[in-house]
Amino acid sequence: MYETFYKLSGKPFQLNPDPGFYFASKGHNRAYSYLKYGVYQGEGFIVLTGEIGAGKTTMVRALLADLDSDHIVAAQLVSTQLDADDLLHAVSAAFGLPIKDLSKAEMLDQFEIFLTRLTNEGKRALLVVDEAQNLSQGAMEELRMLSNFQLGTRAMLQSFLVGQPELREILRAPNMTQLRQRVIASYHLGPMQRDETRAYVLHRLERVGWKNDPAIAPAFFDRLYEVTGGVPRVINAVCDRLLLRACLDALHAVGVPELDDTVREMRDALGTDTHNTELPALRENRAGVRPVATAALAARLERIEKSMALALDLLQQISGQDAALPKPAAADRRPRFGARPDRT
Ligand SMILES: Nc1ncnc2c1ncn2[C@@H]1O[C@H](COP(=O)(O)OP(=O)(O)O)[C@@H](O)[C@H]1O
Ligand SMILES: [Mg+2]
């Protein structure tokens, strides 16, 4: 909706990990090169950790899109609560192997045949496990066993574990020594820095054809960094909300006051859903965000956006403006309404 008002080709601050919007901050760049190097080693485990919303999934998708798909066959699975018995099943399915009515031994045989065939074709398998902090110890152990498959001295499966900071703790446990010894690259992705926060926002806006509408006051970016701690997901949530508000008020310039109002509104909207209702205080939590806050924030924002749309439609009917205005398309109703005379 606000994209119509600001003549943007799409939503600049979506919450999905779209590699098309990939921004290479210093941290993302360093992590990217390191992980890519890890992938080209072709064996063992690669580990990427970071706070929720730091950009791990986005980075992995960008990395996979950049790999030589003629030689690397990659499969991804997102771990909910996998235990040892589910793991082989999930891995086989991720590589597109049949799993129906097979015993565990048969699945193992099938998997080994699959890996051998790849190796003979000059290819290799890369398994990406996202949210790997959810793997049970048993599942981790199974994964380690799978990574033992070799043809001669060549490893046939490489695994890439992606997860929240707890993953580091899990791997540090004494019974993880064997897996730990097989980690060939690991990286912890921190939040972006102050100047990168600005570049990140501009990158996303330019990606959808932003032509300085709304104009952004220079002081805006410092404040944005303070309130979001440089965590991409929080930046996206705040900027998306800010653009919506600005469009409803028919603004063509935004600065610190609008940002502060938005943050206050989001804080109020979060209400008792979170332990910490003060967005700026999230900064104190090293990467700047609590898992519960981000999830609640996204869900709450969606509900608020929907109820706002309904309320505006209702108001429009009550005030009888529908008759006076040319009938707008559903997608740009709210911008028009936000631009009504009594608000400008
Ligand atoms: N390097 C980046 N470039 C562009 N957008 C990013 C980047 N890192 C994160 N994001 C955005 O931030 C949000 C959270 O990223 P995501 O990869 O899902 O984080 P994580 O997997 O660490 O929880 C997504 O909306 C994503 O588009
Ligand atoms: Mg993720």
The answer to whether residues 144 and 88 touch, using CB atoms and an 8 Å cutoff, is no
Choose the most confident range, by mean pLDDT, from 15-19, 40-44, 126-130, 318-322: 126-130
Closest-approaching ligand to the CA atom of 60: 1
Output the CA 1–ligand 2 centroid distance in Å: 27
In the three-class reduction of DSSP (H, G, I as helix; E, B as strand; rest coil), residue 92 is classed as helix
Residue 302 has pLDDT above 80, yes or no: no
Helix axes 232-248, 256-270, angle to 10 degrees: 110
Q: What is the pLDDT of residues 109-157, one digit of tens each?
A: 999 999 999 999 999 999 999 999 999 989 999 999 999 998 888 899 9
* CATH fold for domain 26-189: Rossmann fold (3.40.50)
CATH 3.40.50.300 positions along the chain are 26-189
Query: How far are the Cα atoms of 38, 123, 166, 317 from residue 185, in angstroms, in the given order?
Result: 5, 21, 17, 60
Express each pLDDT in 222-235 by its tens digit. 999 999 999 999 99
* pLDDT single digits (tens) 81-109: 788 888 999 999 999 999 888 999 999 99
pLDDT range class, residue 300, cuts 50, 70, 90? low
Cα(224)–Cα(198) distance, integer angstroms: 8
The answer, yes or no, to whether any atom of ligand 1 lies below 6 A from the CB of 21, is yes
The per-residue pLDDT for range 241-266, each reduced to its tens digit, is: 999 999 999 999 999 999 999 999 98
Task: Considering every ligand atom shown, identify the ligand nearest to the alpha carbon of residue 295 and give its number.
Answer: 1
Mean pLDDT of 280-308: 48
Specify the higher pLDDT residue, 302 or 324.
Answer: 302
Least confident of 22-26, 219-223, 283-287, 300-304: 283-287
- Token readout for 115 is 């890996």
pTM metric for this prediction: 0.77
pLDDT at 320: 47
HSE (CB half, 13 Å, CA atoms) of 342? 3
Mean pLDDT, the chain, rounded, equals 82
How high is the pLDDT of residue 195?
93
User: What percent of the chain has pLDDT above 90?
Assistant: 63
Q: Is the CB of 27 under 6 A from ligand 1?
A: no
pLDDT at 11 over 60: yes
Residue 164, both tokens: 């929240």
- Quote the pLDDT of residue 157: 95
Q: What is the mean pLDDT of residues 52-72?
A: 92
pLDDT tens track for 162-204: 999 999 999 999 999 999 999 999 999 999 999 999 999 999 9
Residue nearest to atom 1 of ligand 1 (CA): 23
- b vs e for 159-178, b when ≥16 Cβ sit within 10 Å of the residue's Cβ? bbbbbbeebeebbeeeebee
Is 80 exceeded by the pLDDT of residue 343?
no
Considering every ligand atom shown, identify the ligand nearest to the alpha carbon of residue 51 and give its number: 1
- Report the residue among 58, 128, 131, 162 best suited for mutation to probe ligand 1: largest number of ligand atoms under 8 A from its CB: 58
259: CB partners within 8 A, 6+ apart: 220, 223, 224, 227, 238, 242
Q: In this structure, are strands 157-163 and 45-50 parallel, antiparallel, or unpaired?
A: parallel
